[in-house]
Structure 1
C-alpha cells in the first residue's frame, strides 16, 4: 500500500516540475480568506443564537445547522478567489482561474497585457481573443509587475519569434 502512495506522490511531483514561473494573487487571496472566516463565524454565531430569543417564530435545531451550513457554503464560495494561478514553462502557459484550467501553447500566445482599468492581466491570443489571468492582479502592484516581466522574459525565450 505504501508503494502505491509513493508512486502517486512521485507522479504529482513530476507534473509540478518544469514550470519556471508560478504566480498567484496575493491581496485578494488574503481578503478572501478573511471574508470566508468572517462569514463562517457570523453564521455560526447566528445559528447558535437562533433559538435563544422569543421572536414568535419557532426555530428547530435543524434551522441552526442550516444557518451554519449556509455560512460554510458561502465561505467556500469566497475561497474560490484563492484558486487562480498561472504557470509558465517550455510546454506553454497553464492558466487556472476560478473554475477552469487551460494550457495555452506558445504558438498561440501573442503577449500578456493589462487592459486600461482592468483588475487582472490577460494573455492575448490570435483573432482578438484572450484568456483572463486572474493570478496577476493590478492590486498586487510590484508582485504583478515582477510576474508580468518574468512572463515576458519567458515568452521571449519560448515563443515563436516569427509570429
Structure 2
C-alpha cells in the first residue's frame, strides 16, 4: 500500500458507509417486522406483544452498535471509535497503518509497541474504498506523524 497522490484535507472521517447502510436498513426492517407481527397477531397477550417489540429494539440496538466504528483524522491527531471503545491518538503515536490481505479492518502499529484495530476502515463489502481510505490514512500519518516513511 503506497501513499495516495492527493491527501484529504483535515478533518476527515473514515467509515464503512455501505456496511452502515445495510446495518441500519436491516435493523429498521427487523424492528418494523416484529412490531407488525406484535400488532397483527390477534391471540397475543400484552406481554407477548411487548416482547416482540422489545426483541426488535434489541436487535436494532446491536446493529447500531456494529455500525458505530469510525476513524476521525484531525490536525491534532486521530480518534479511533470501535464498537465499545474510543481512543484519541496523537499523530506521533502512530508508526504504521496496516491493511493486509485477509484483514477484517485496518490495524495501527503504535509507538508503545501495541497494535490498535481501527474498525472504521474495513474491506467487507467495499474493498476498494477501504484500500483508498487506508492509503489516505497512511499518507496523513506519514505527513503529520514522525516523518519516517515505512515500507509497504
TM-score, normalised by the number of residues in structure 1 = 0.75
In the alignment, is residue 143 of structure 1 matched against residue 134 of structure 2? no
1:8-87 pair list within 5 angstroms: 19-52=10-43, 59-87=44-72
Equivalence for 2:6:
none
Q: How big is the shift at 1:50?
A: 4.0
| SS of match in other structure, 2:91 | coil
1:59-112 residue CA offsets vs partner (Å, 9 max, x unmatched): 421221221122112112111122111111231111011121111112221111
1:81–1:98 contact (8 Å) kept in structure 2? yes
Q: CA deviation at 1:145?
A: 2.0
Does residue 155 in structure 1 map to residue 146 in structure 2? no
Compare the two structures and name the one with the higher helix fraction. 1
- Higher gyration radius (CA): 1
Q: Residues of 2 paired with 1:118 and 1:124: CA distance? A: 14
Structure 1 unmatched ranges of 5 or more: 1-17, 53-58
Q: CA deviation at 1:115?
A: 3.7
**Per-residue deviation, 1:156:** 1.6
- Across the aligned residues of Structure 1 and Structure 2, the Cα RMSD in angstroms comes to 2.1
Q: Which structure 2 segments of 5+ residues have no match?
A: 1-8
When the two structures are aligned, how many residues end up with a matched partner?
A: 140
TM-score, reference length from structure 2: 0.80
